Structure 1
Amino acid sequence: MRKLLVVALAAGTCLSVPGVAQAQQNAGEGVSAGEIIVTARRRDESLSTVPAAITALSNDDLVQRGVHTDSDLQTVAPGLTIRQTQGNNSLTYSIRGQTADTFSGSPSAVIAYLNEVPLTINGASSFYDLENVQVLKGPQGTLFGRNATGGAVLYNSAKPVNELKATLRGRIGNYDMHEVEGMLNVPLVDDTVMLRAAFDTIRKDGYIRNLLNDERLGNIKRDSGRVTLTIKPTEGITNTTMVQYTKTGGTNTGASYTYSVYSCGDTNNGYALTCSAGLLFGPGLDAAFGVDGLWDAYLAAHPDAYAPGLVDYVNEQRRIGPYKTRHPGGASHHGKDWFVSNTTEIELGGGATLRNIFGYSNSKTRSEQPQLGAPFITILTANAAAGEYGNQLKVRSVSEEVQVLGDAMDGKLEYIFGYYLQRQRSDTLWPQTYFDVSPVLAPSYVTNNFRIRNKTDAVYGQLSYEVVPDLKLTGGLRWTRERVSISQLPAATYTFGAPDQKKTFSDPSWEVGLEYKVTPEWFAYLKTRGSFRSGGFNGAAPPVNATATGGGNLFDSEHTQDIEGGVKYAGYVFDRPANFAGAVFVQWIQDVQRVEFPDPDGPGGLASIAVTANVPSSRIWGFEAQGNVRPAQWLEIGGSMAYTNAKFTDGNIELFGVPYAYGPVGDTPKFSGTAYAQISMPVGENMGDVSLRGEVYGQSAQYFSNAAGSIAPGTRLPGYALVHARLDWNNIGGSDFSAALFAKNLTDKAYFVGGMTLAAALGHNAAAVGEPRTYGLELSFKY
């Protein structure tokens, strides 16, 4: 693994450049031919001259590199980590150490957008018929809808064109995988009314077996469809409406690998570790209650339990391996999602455009999560007493954005001004069972049920002025107000009836930067930004208008500032086409939003709640690079890499009277990178195009807790490297048919992609397992 990781990182360092998005390059052209168009500054611009660290991928790139879900993006975008805290259907983006924790009321530090409308639920989604995907790194908020301290991921669905086109693609593979996706584009009225419809449906068996019921965890059952209509009623007016519906099913993988459990008396750097789970579910139960025979009574009532106890089960989990678990509850997942976007553009003349972007989404999910993997009910996402099973989330959002953008002064001045509005309502139901030690100790049932409303309003503007030829100065400012409220709903066990709470958070976001076109090939930039993400309320905490330090449910806004400098190159090296992009950055964050699971009654209790706390400060610095080169007409090599050094500069806080110390920063590997080579293979004339691509992705170790140095040891995940390969035969025999053989994780490497830490609450941690080797055959037709 180490050798593979070194190869990946070395290639990324030497060849670093944005060759991953050849959206407008034709087959056989050099890697620097054509321009890659991105919308990082809300206008179409060439990637090679945008002053920002961006990874962009076209739809063909996504297909060729096997990017079918959000979690696959990690292998193609340096510095992006897709966290799987509770498995394959509970995903969170992390960029440069900035993220949002599970069960947190915190808004995400990395916002995902579809057609410039923010997405409301971060779950695994289908990647089909997309125009491109763009990963923007660093604080956002000056131009985009929601403030973000880590970055943004932009998904853009393919728009209708004035041409009759169709595609059909099918895949079959191991784990009984079968997937079909298709697209039909029809110009209904020539260059005036154009319609595009696309769909994707997939079925796949899970790769983790639950030994208690022989259920497969990780089953995928997903159907999605999308219809897009573009109307151009007159010259200079374009209206595009997209409607998408997605239905998901299957089972969750969960954090199903029991990773570490603490024994009573264990300490770490002077911190006493929570041992309630290990104490209650083990032979020490007799001594804990001072009565002989209690553990035997428990085992008699629970024949599936592991007799040596939970602490020893860590060794048993290692023996049976990562793809087997003994989860005692369900793992079903159900989701429905409606999404609508409408974009209207009106050319006003004089280089100005009026743009209106409307968005609507309505999402529902219900998930039973295999959170800890051991055959003991330390915690379960169910409340049998109330007949409630699975965490439920219903989110409805409406957004509206109006922009005026254009240029003046013979193109020397570019401007954009806008107003953004969003109204979002989230209903959450968390049914839970704690410590089923019956008949010795009855389980504790509790349900959290609450509604959070967020009303966001923002005004913004940004100017870019060409001071002298090829040198531009950019300045942007945004003012955002977010009004957040929480209501306790009827299913809440203890908090229903509490008065509603409200809080307003408002702050500026800003950007100042210089960009310089050094030569036709070289481009450089330097900028500084500031942004924030609003505070809010912890739905499971006591409804008291105070932070957790004061025994309440409030948390404050997080603020950040950064400095980033970068260079980009698009040209030739020894007369061979090549690209390069690199960036260095340092970022400071205050009042970092991180979740913890303290006992509101203090040490020694058997209760726990999810609390978003404000850790005083952290600092993150590093560098990123990506690129490629074509040393011969038949060979392309390239890679990407990221180094991220994240640290809590002040990680000490107090929650409900108990001190906590944070560090190291979780879900942030120091090194990650990809190296690839693609060979165009000679075939007979008019036989089509055959190419072979090999790719290695590697990353160093990471933690799935933010407190491994104090109360949560045993949460460090080892680094790993994955090998992928794909053999393409396009336009077989000069026809419209193509075929491909693909394989991911070719060496069948066992690895971990995240985890669920309940160290403070239970003294029990579990890891999420990455997908084993998958392979298959792909057939496609394009008209």
Structure 2
Amino acid sequence: MITLFTAQPGLAQQQDVSAASPALQAEENDADRADIVVTARRREESLADVPISITALGSADLVARAVVTDADLQRTVPGLTIRQTQGNNSLTYSLRGQSADIFSGSPSAVVTYLNEVPMPVAGSSSFFDLASVQVLKGPQGTLFGRNATGGAVLFTSAKPTNELEGFVRGRLGNYDRRELEGALNVPIVDDKVLLRGAFNLSYADGFIENRYTGEDLGRINRESARLSLTLKPAPGVINTTVAQYANSRGTNTGASYTYSVYGCGETNNGFALSCSAGLLFGPSLDSVLGPGAWAAYLAANPKAYAPGLIAYVEEQRRLGQYVTNHPSGADHFGETWNVSNTAEIEFGDRLRLRNIFGFVDAYTDSQQPQLGAPYATILTANAAVGQFGNIEDIRSYSEELQLQGETADGALEFIVGLYIQRQRARSLYPQTYFDLRPNAGFPTYALNHFRIKNYTDAVYAQGTYNLEQIGIPRLSVTAGLRYTRERVRGLQLAGSDNFGAPEQRRTYEDPSWEAGLEYKASPDLLFYLKTRGSFRSGGYNGTLDPVGIVALGGSNFFRSETTQDIEGGVNFSGRAFGGPASFSLAVFNQWIQDVQRVEFPDPDGPAGPLASIAFTTNVPSERVRGIEAEGAVMPAEWLRVGGQLALTDADFTDNQVVLFGSTYSYGPVGDTPRASGTGWAEFSLPMAPNTGEVMLRGEVYAQTGQYFSNAADSIAPRTRLPGYALVNGRLSWNDIMGSNFSAALFGDNLLDEEYFVGGMQLAVALGHNGAVVGRPRTYGLEVTLRY
């Protein structure tokens, strides 16, 4: 029987079959769990030896669990939240209470990597022909390119092999889903020159009806291709180059559900709430502009909801989650190039030199619905200057040199390295506020256009010493240190409302460290205890007027965020209940200082030029503690069951910030459900010999509610999203009648649960909040041919 067994805290990938077919990986993974290899510490080692909390998926598990985009990872990784702030093409990874706010200049708290090269996360991408996905939780800094306070997500593409092989996979589903992907592996020169090409084409209609424009939101049109070349010119020398291109078009779902609006005079825990949008878009407009103003607006805008924006909250509930009335465009375009080159030279059996070069060029242009009501309270457009859509243009070069090895007696394993990255990010944000035409004086236009350059330089070293060499069996100690300097330069560009200020510069530098103990109780059982420290570099607030903010005693720059944690855990990978089994448990306590969060202060009054700016500031301190567990067991040849659970308690322990004489209070921590988890089961149905394998898989993902604001207890109430549960299923027939064909029926959200996956908090800026809806029931047919 061939089954996949990868729901464990490690990478389900054999060292010698990392690019093999999913069926072959499944067969060998079940045969010997001790052979599972992980790379979480930048070297290949057995799963049972890894002292870190990891969730990982092999290539076959990615297919079986229908993980085809970033958003799908949330239901496969306990504690991971893929927050959608402005919809399906505006994503932020959140782990252990650590994320980056919308409109923030903060680096990501959870850094993603493709083939060990850091890459930006902007919109949902397609996953295709991957060997694995690993999610490392907690502070990362000693071994990876960019410092991170929350974690790291490692995507590894399938490498070329010495076999002529490939596959083609097609999917058809509701919402006119059409997807085609495939790969071809060609050994040009036997075990010397190996080539692999892969592609993915994904198309689907939108699932949100915009009654205002007649356009469907959530439409997908993604096209991606990858070419990988491995050269082995001499024994012990390997060079692999991977070039990937992707473009994405369609329409953004946006925060298209009108979630909450504040009325004038409302307070929350003693904090006065902003009410500008509710005041101006309703009959109360007459009290501001004079009698007849609202009637004039309705006459010029017949699709507007006459009772006003505050009343529209109830109308939105009546319409439901998949109907919106956004009065403008929602077009999305994205284009990304990724290139990596990894060169490895073996010096005998105990020393290896590695060089990793990376290049990323990413461009997006998106019009983002930020409220679903039929009023132009805010648009990502500026008709006065002919700009429509937020533009992000990022280019990055990175270079990493590593020396890995071990001492002659094998007691010490070490890695030392140098990391350099140069990144340039250009942002252009056109804005329209309060389009109340034909009333005089409206709308108000704004344009932010700025560039941020980041120069990162780091040196690091880490080693693990087996104390058995000095008479203490089964115990190892690990220590690592990294020192990073990040130089940040911010410049206002032509067209910006703030253009003319000179370039501003700031340097941030800090150490990152790790120390831990690992006790190998048996070949299958590991206990560990570790402590880590890392930081997230400070940065530049590009949306601020540099001259005006300095005149008011402020600065365009915010401080670095620092963190420390303690984590203890146990990893088991062996046999239980008569079959293969795996289990992991991690308990952690993390402290964060100078937490980077966005605020919308009003430094010079509601009519001043700096009103309602997005401003990254530093909240004094936060604490996050929790438990993460994963397990799987195969008690019979025909049955595998497993589950994952994350319990997270995150609080701002010192939550007040004073900006321009006003006190702002933070809490609860956003984007962090207190509980989330998945339970699943796979049944292998009895079949006659040589007819293939029929597998039925069922899965339930559930989470408690979460906030999409970090200030719900003060100035942003009614920003809590309810919890939900999703039921997913898959019925597959592999190797049909002994052929190379496989087929599957799949379905996600089978009970058609209506739920939310994020939100746009504009409580202080405008007095309203929009939510992002999750996907409705989707289902379809998948057919695969391997050759």
Fold conserved between structures, TM > 0.5? yes
Distance 2:372 2:550 in 1: 32
Q: Aligned letter for 2:426?
A: D
Greater mean alpha carbon deviation, residues 341-350 or residues 396-405? 341-350
Q: Aligned letter for 2:164?
A: L
Distance 2:507 2:461 in 1: 22
Contact 1:621 1:644 in 2 (8 A): yes
Q: What fraction of aligned residue pairs are identical, expressed as a percent?
A: 63
Contact 1:32 1:579 in 2 (8 A): no
Contact 2:596 2:616 in 1 (8 A): yes
Distance 2:401 2:667 in 1: 42
1:659 alignment counterpart: 663
Contact 1:211 1:326 in 2 (8 A): yes
How far does residue 672 in structure 1 lie from its aligned partner after superposition? 0.2
Contact 1:16 1:627 in 2 (8 A): no
1:552 aligns with 2:542: no
Distance 1:16 1:117 in 2: 25
Assess, with a 3 A threshold, how the Cα gap between structure 1 residues 629 and 169 changes in structure 2: closer, same or farther.
same
How far does residue 27 in structure 1 lie from its aligned partner after superposition? 3.8
Q: Which residue, out of 704, 709, 728, partners 2:708?
A: 704
Assess, with a 3 A threshold, how the Cα gap between structure 1 residues 603 and 251 changes in structure 2: closer, same or farther.
same
1:316 alignment counterpart: 315
Q: Aligned letter for 1:616?
A: P
1:733 aligns with 2:737: yes
2:18 alignment counterpart: none
Q: Aligned letter for 1:518?
A: A
1:431-487 Cα deviation digits (max 9, x unpaired): 000111122241111100000000000000001100123211000000000000011
1:514 aligns with 2:506: no
Distance 2:508 2:777 in 1: 47
Q: Which residue, out of 608, 611, 615, partners 1:611?
A: 615
How far does residue 20 in structure 1 lie from its aligned partner after superposition? 8.1
Q: Which residue, out of 748, 755, 765, partners 1:751?
A: 755
How far does residue 746 in structure 1 lie from its aligned partner after superposition? 0.3
1:373 aligns with 2:375: no
Q: Which residue, out of 626, 633, 638, partners 1:634?
A: 638
Greater mean alpha carbon deviation, residues 75-84 or residues 404-413? 404-413
1:474 aligns with 2:464: no
Match runs of 1:445-456 below 5 Å: 445-456=445-456
Distance 2:552 2:34 in 1: 56
Task: List runs of 5+ in structure 1 lacking aligned partners.
Answer: 1-14
Contact 2:708 2:761 in 1 (8 A): yes
Q: Which residue, out of 576, 595, 598, partners 1:595?
A: 598
Distance 1:348 1:41 in 2: 20
1:8 alignment counterpart: none
2:399 alignment counterpart: 400
1:483 aligns with 2:487: yes
Assess, with a 3 A threshold, how the Cα gap between structure 1 residues 228 and 252 changes in structure 2: closer, same or farther.
same
TM-score by length of structure 1 reads 0.96
1:78-126 Cα deviation digits (max 9, x unpaired): 0110000000000110000001111110000000000000002432111
1:308-338 Cα deviation digits (max 9, x unpaired): 0000100000000000000011000001111
1:218-239 Cα deviation digits (max 9, x unpaired): 0000000000000000011100
- Number of equivalenced pairs: 767
Assess, with a 3 A threshold, how the Cα gap between structure 1 residues 496 and 547 changes in structure 2: closer, same or farther.
closer
1:12 alignment counterpart: none
Distance 2:355 2:579 in 1: 43
How far does residue 708 in structure 1 lie from its aligned partner after superposition? 0.1
1:38 alignment counterpart: 38
Assess, with a 3 A threshold, how the Cα gap between structure 1 residues 726 and 375 changes in structure 2: closer, same or farther.
same
Distance 1:689 1:537 in 2: 56
Q: Aligned letter for 1:56?
A: A
Task: List runs of 5+ in structure 2 lacking aligned partners.
Answer: 15-24
Contact 2:13 2:29 in 1 (8 A): no
How far does residue 629 in structure 1 lie from its aligned partner after superposition? 0.8
1:167 alignment counterpart: 167
Q: Aligned letter for 1:213?
A: T
Assess, with a 3 A threshold, how the Cα gap between structure 1 residues 31 and 584 changes in structure 2: closer, same or farther.
farther
1:23 aligns with 2:26: no
Assess, with a 3 A threshold, how the Cα gap between structure 1 residues 464 and 548 changes in structure 2: closer, same or farther.
farther
2:678 alignment counterpart: 674
Match runs of 1:79-228 below 5 Å: 79-228=79-228
1:347 alignment counterpart: 346
Assess, with a 3 A threshold, how the Cα gap between structure 1 residues 479 and 544 changes in structure 2: closer, same or farther.
farther
The DSSP-based 3-state class of the residue aligned with 2:484 is strand
The DSSP-based 3-state class of the residue aligned with 1:725 is strand
Assess, with a 3 A threshold, how the Cα gap between structure 1 residues 151 and 549 changes in structure 2: closer, same or farther.
farther
How far does residue 550 in structure 1 lie from its aligned partner after superposition? 3.5
1:564 alignment counterpart: 567
The DSSP-based 3-state class of the residue aligned with 2:234 is coil
Q: Which residue, out of 483, 497, 500, partners 2:500?
A: 497
How far does residue 549 in structure 1 lie from its aligned partner after superposition? 8.8
Contact 1:482 1:534 in 2 (8 A): yes
1:689-739 Cα deviation digits (max 9, x unpaired): 000000000000000000000000000000000000000100000000000
Q: Aligned letter for 2:588?
A: F
1:10 alignment counterpart: none
Assess, with a 3 A threshold, how the Cα gap between structure 1 residues 432 and 29 changes in structure 2: closer, same or farther.
closer
Distance 2:757 2:552 in 1: 32
How far does residue 544 in structure 1 lie from its aligned partner after superposition? 4.9
Distance 1:485 1:574 in 2: 59
Distance 1:229 1:19 in 2: 30
Distance 1:677 1:379 in 2: 46
The DSSP-based 3-state class of the residue aligned with 2:522 is coil
Contact 2:196 2:228 in 1 (8 A): yes
Distance 1:228 1:34 in 2: 29
The DSSP-based 3-state class of the residue aligned with 1:209 is strand
How far does residue 48 in structure 1 lie from its aligned partner after superposition? 2.5
1:484-536 Cα deviation digits (max 9, x unpaired): 0011100102x111111000000000000000101222111000000001101
The DSSP-based 3-state class of the residue aligned with 1:684 is coil
Assess, with a 3 A threshold, how the Cα gap between structure 1 residues 401 and 548 changes in structure 2: closer, same or farther.
farther
1:647 alignment counterpart: 651
Distance 1:154 1:768 in 2: 26
1:411 aligns with 2:431: no
TM-score by length of structure 2 reads 0.96
Q: Which residue, out of 515, 522, 527, partners 1:524?
A: 527
How far does residue 410 in structure 1 lie from its aligned partner after superposition? 1.4
The DSSP-based 3-state class of the residue aligned with 2:233 is coil
Q: Aligned letter for 2:167?
A: T
Assess, with a 3 A threshold, how the Cα gap between structure 1 residues 207 and 165 changes in structure 2: closer, same or farther.
same
Assess, with a 3 A threshold, how the Cα gap between structure 1 residues 144 and 22 changes in structure 2: closer, same or farther.
closer
1:122-165 Cα deviation digits (max 9, x unpaired): 32111100010000000001000000000000000011011101
Contact 1:522 1:568 in 2 (8 A): yes
How far does residue 570 in structure 1 lie from its aligned partner after superposition? 1.6
Distance 2:505 2:133 in 1: 36
Distance 1:232 1:599 in 2: 61
How far does residue 33 in structure 1 lie from its aligned partner after superposition? 3.4
Assess, with a 3 A threshold, how the Cα gap between structure 1 residues 543 and 518 changes in structure 2: closer, same or farther.
same
1:50 alignment counterpart: 50
1:774 aligns with 2:778: yes
Distance 2:558 2:105 in 1: 9
Q: Which residue, out of 549, 554, 575, partners 2:578?
A: 575
Distance 1:84 1:380 in 2: 18
How far does residue 632 in structure 1 lie from its aligned partner after superposition? 1.2
1:252-308 Cα deviation digits (max 9, x unpaired): 00010000000000000000000000000011111233x211111111111111100
1:164-185 Cα deviation digits (max 9, x unpaired): 0110000000000000001000
Greater mean alpha carbon deviation, residues 455-464 or residues 573-582? 573-582
2:696 alignment counterpart: 692
Q: Aligned letter for 1:560?
A: T
1:432 aligns with 2:431: yes
1:4 alignment counterpart: none
Assess, with a 3 A threshold, how the Cα gap between structure 1 residues 570 and 539 changes in structure 2: closer, same or farther.
same
The DSSP-based 3-state class of the residue aligned with 1:675 is strand
